[in-house]
Structure 1
Amino acid sequence: MAHERLISVIGLGYVGLPVAVAFGRQHKVIGFDINESRIAELQSGHDSTLEIEAAEFARTDIRFTSNPVELKQADFHIVAVPTPIDAAKRPDLGPLLAASRILGKQIKTGDIVVYESTVYPGATEEDCIPILEQESGLHAGMNFFVGYSPERINPGDRQHRFTSIKKVVSAQTQESLETVAAVYESVVDAGIHKAPSIKVAEAAKVIENTQRDLNIALMNELVLIFSRLGIDTHDVLEAAGTKWNFLPFRPGLVGGHCIGVDPYYLTHKAAIMGYSPQVILSGRGINDGMGNYIASCLIKTLIAHDNRVKGATVTILGLTFKEDVPDLRNTRVIDVVRELQSFGVNVQVHDPLADPEGAEHEYGIRLLKDRDLQPAAAVILAVPHVEYVSQGWKAISKYLEEGQGIVYDIKAKLDRTTIPSGITLMRL
């Protein structure tokens, strides 16, 4: 569908940049971010998130800027800033509200603002709109209009892209909903789903990832059960997976900016409304505890093999929250690191994709290069980047003392039929 709107995208991270690029292939786009270094790298045609290749920038018409005044040129604004949780696992709307203040000073009569950031049901209308109205002096639903369209970006996924994922849209009025739908439909090939209200669209987003979180929690709980029975969980799942309707979830560390965060937005709102969630928080508790479980299992195995614990060297391969992306946000690998360190273990961390400065700043972790790694008693393949897995045991065993020791393959990506002599393999 055609439209005559000029698009701005506020927030140019893992979500905002692919959105800006998709629209920029067909229309002029204003790409705004408060991070001037991020703007500089995008202007040079480089994306440190690795979501957009350099050649794609040349095919787009995007003006990257950190000057909020330039947002006045646009009349359709898409807000795609992070919505994390704080140390107490409470929703942190700080970036979203700050973006609303910046944008509110620039919007004008007739503009449409669409939020894509993950929030709890009601946040757009109860938290964001009042700020837009206060800063602009305009009235939402009369002078300008607001919608919500939940992001569905999956970092590192080259198959499911912004244009190939069905887009849920919502808005304050039927007329503004039609405009929002037309704008997105101009670039989203997979089609549009019009939600009946903004709250419905907000709720749909948080339950998408809550559902995945709970299914992975079930797999992780199976690990806790089957390990006591001496059964390999992946063998069980492979057998059960021969049934046509068995869902292919796997155990693991659950981090990142979505699955490990979104459920807390829903439980926070539920608590405000007087309901204490049971199932959701139980699943969160299981998943949040897997890092400590992995570390404790390794400690027990070191002891069983007559290895010292205090002063032992353990190398962890991978620090990002998932394979083949540089994203360090909410990585749960850090839980494994911290728990091992609490036992006096010397932990070395290697990751070919993670930003060393980001790892140091966010977690106090010094990422080591291959040449700086000392031989280890154990190796944990925490994040199976293709660089590790493609080389198989040759890449893994070189980190061990004399090529022998313990290897903990968290996601069971290594071939069990070709384990070198002298290596003890562990898996979730």
Structure 2
Amino acid sequence: MSKSMQLNYLSEGIKGRNLRITVVGMGYVGLPSAISFHEAGFPVWGLDNSEEVITSLKAGKSQIMEEMGKAFPSGGDWDIFSKYEDCIPDTDVAIVCVPTPVDNLRKPDLKPVSESLNSIISSRNPDSNLVIILESTVQPGTTRRCIEEALSNSDDDGEGLFIAYCPERISPGEEGFGVGDVSRVIGAETKELAEELSALYASITKGRIFPVSSIEVAEAAKLVENAQRDIDIAFSNELSILMPKMGLDVEEVLAAASTKWNFHRHTPGMGVGGHCIPIDPHYYIEIAKKYGVDSSLSPSARELNYSMPLYNANEVFRLFGGVPDKVLVMGYAYKPNVSDTRETPLKPFISSLAEAGVSQIMVWDPLVGESQLPESVKKINSLTEISSVDCIVIGTAHDDVVNLDWKWLFDISNSSFLYDSRRCLVPEKMEEIGWNFHAIGRPLGAVQ
């Protein structure tokens, strides 16, 4: 079959919603994506190498689904698999949404991507067409190189194989930034393929679709997006350290600066977490080194953001007047209203408390399970369990935290010291209740 006939097959399959789509990786990106394509009318299979994940999904259980507020699909055009050979041979489009972490030296770890692409190539039907779309964050050139390596490790000559890159952009837990909302960038091996796949992604989002000239442009765009965000957040965090020393509240300063039309505001805090911002800049830093560019901004931003949990712990000690004996940390997830604890800055924050001598650290996070917490902490299932604490720290601005009856907690906790590392509470209201209230970037008690 000629390339033009193959693309026509793809075009007709998108219009008729009869392309079989397999999404590899049933996490915070893959699962919502799979459901969105199914809701758009496509037959969809989900694939994950974790038997625990598969068992949970087949039983209709998923914290991700609960946070999305959606029900599981059903019927013959939806299924979940754990083995590539059970679904890839009958797949038309394979979308890869697997993690791209860093190793202990903070170097890119492409093992999940390489293993997924190798498994897809070795399992596909060589007599059928297959489009592989990578959504995971990688350095420019990675998609082509990994596909070429997978082909070289097999007897597959690549006939009927198409490749593209479309970086994921969703923000779990944030209204208006889900799969169906965000714009997408698509790079493919040909302009014609990019245009066809633009139609595919247009079926699941109301955001704009931007086809670009190459796979490498799309790969680079993803790195730039998150490296820039990390730098912006680092500057806000730096301001939260500097402004109080000048007797200024960083939030008031940022609010004033935001009145300028081109100012992009970020809120300082405990640090950054999740699968993108703490990780992706390292992919950028390493490829800059490869091409002989001595990047200074991104490494500095990373180090500053890495330092924020320790800075917040030291602020708690300074403002409290020493190391408290018992600390209640409210929230452990890396961002509000999700259960995701990947790279949460609360983990190093809690380690800093323990290393300084805090004897009992309690964590209350209604979205996070006990197995997700460090063994050294005590999980509090209900705030009624609190008899007495020396210090309360807001770690995550969950709605359940922000909307808490703070007068009630003040009365039962036998503590008046409250530190807001997320700037999610109104200081005046807390002080009116009676709290000895402190917050990151707030000048009260700051060293002048």
Q: Same fold by TM-score, threshold 0.5 exceeded?
A: yes
Task: List runs of 5+ in structure 1 lacking aligned partners.
Answer: none
Residues 139, 173 of structure 1: CA spacing in aligned structure 2 closer, same or farther, 3 A cutoff? farther
Q: Which structure 2 residues correspond to residues 100-249 of structure 1 after superposition, within 5 A?
A: 100-109=117-126, 110-126=129-145, 128-140=146-158, 142-249=159-266
Q: Hey, what does 2:334 align to over in structure 1?
A: 321
Deviation, structure 1 residue 54: 4.4
Asked if structure 1 preserves the Cα contact closer than 8 Å seen for 2:106 and 2:282, the reply is yes
**Is 1:378 the counterpart of 2:396 in the alignment?**
no
Q: Hey, what does 2:78 align to over in structure 1?
A: 62
Q: Hey, what does 2:428 align to over in structure 1?
A: 417
Q: Distance in 1 between matches of 2:368 and 2:412?
A: 19
Q: CA RMSD in A?
A: 2.1
Q: Distance in 1 between matches of 2:152 and 2:390?
A: 60
Of the structure 1 ranges 216-225 and 272-281, higher mean CA displacement relative to structure 2 is found in 272-281
Q: Distance in 2 between matches of 1:279 and 1:168?
A: 25
Deviation, structure 1 residue 148: 0.5
Secondary structure of residue in 2 paired with 1:57: coil
- Give the letter aligned to residue 322 of structure 1: K
Superposed CA offset, 1:133-153 (max 9, x none): 13542244x441211000011
Deviation, structure 1 residue 275: 2.1
Secondary structure of residue in 2 paired with 1:245: coil
Using the size of structure 1 for normalisation, the TM-score is 0.91
Secondary structure of residue in 2 paired with 1:162: coil
Asked if structure 1 preserves the Cα contact closer than 8 Å seen for 2:19 and 2:43, the reply is no
- Give the letter aligned to residue 12 of structure 1: M
Asked if structure 2 preserves the Cα contact closer than 8 Å seen for 1:376 and 1:399, the reply is no
Q: Which structure 2 residues correspond to residues 373-412 of structure 1 after superposition, within 5 A?
A: 373-394=386-407, 396-397=409-410, 400=413, 402-404=414-416, 406-412=417-423
Residues 427, 174 of structure 1: CA spacing in aligned structure 2 closer, same or farther, 3 A cutoff? closer
Deviation, structure 1 residue 186: 2.8
- Give the letter aligned to residue 122 of structure 1: G
Q: Distance in 1 between matches of 2:227 and 2:409?
A: 34
Residues 42, 368 of structure 1: CA spacing in aligned structure 2 closer, same or farther, 3 A cutoff? same
Superposed CA offset, 1:91-123 (max 9, x none): 121211121222122123421100000111121
Residues 246, 365 of structure 1: CA spacing in aligned structure 2 closer, same or farther, 3 A cutoff? same
Secondary structure of residue in 2 paired with 1:248: coil
Deviation, structure 1 residue 396: 4.8
Deviation, structure 1 residue 387: 0.6
Paired residue for 2:357, among 338, 341, 344? Answer: 344
**Is 1:28 the counterpart of 2:43 in the alignment?**
yes
Task: List runs of 5+ in structure 2 lacking aligned partners.
Answer: 1-13, 442-448
Q: Hey, what does 2:9 align to over in structure 1?
A: none
Deviation, structure 1 residue 295: 0.5
Superposed CA offset, 1:333-392 (max 9, x none): 1121111111101322221111211324xx765533235545221111010111111125
Deviation, structure 1 residue 200: 0.6
Deviation, structure 1 residue 398: 5.3
Superposed CA offset, 1:195-224 (max 9, x none): 111111001011111111111111111112
Asked if structure 2 preserves the Cα contact closer than 8 Å seen for 1:213 and 1:260, the reply is yes
**Is 1:13 the counterpart of 2:27 in the alignment?**
yes
Secondary structure of residue in 2 paired with 1:20: helix
Secondary structure of residue in 2 paired with 1:55: coil
- Give the letter aligned to residue 302 of structure 1: F
Using the size of structure 2 for normalisation, the TM-score is 0.87
Asked if structure 2 preserves the Cα contact closer than 8 Å seen for 1:379 and 1:399, the reply is no
- Give the letter aligned to residue 207 of structure 2: A
**Is 1:302 the counterpart of 2:320 in the alignment?**
yes
Residues 241, 179 of structure 1: CA spacing in aligned structure 2 closer, same or farther, 3 A cutoff? closer
Superposed CA offset, 1:241-298 (max 9, x none): 2333322211121111111111111111111222221011111111111111000111
Superposed CA offset, 1:40-79 (max 9, x none): 2222333222444343535994211112222211121000
- Give the letter aligned to residue 197 of structure 1: S
Residues 74, 365 of structure 1: CA spacing in aligned structure 2 closer, same or farther, 3 A cutoff? farther
Q: Distance in 1 between matches of 2:21 and 2:412?
A: 50
- Give the letter aligned to residue 112 of structure 1: V
Asked if structure 2 preserves the Cα contact closer than 8 Å seen for 1:9 and 1:31, the reply is yes
- Give the letter aligned to residue 15 of structure 1: V
Q: Hey, what does 2:56 align to over in structure 1?
A: 41
Asked if structure 2 preserves the Cα contact closer than 8 Å seen for 1:106 and 1:136, the reply is no
Of the structure 1 ranges 93-102 and 369-378, higher mean CA displacement relative to structure 2 is found in 369-378
- Give the letter aligned to residue 57 of structure 1: P
Q: Report how many residues are paired.
A: 417
Identity of aligned residues (%): 31
Of the structure 1 ranges 345-354 and 413-422, higher mean CA displacement relative to structure 2 is found in 413-422
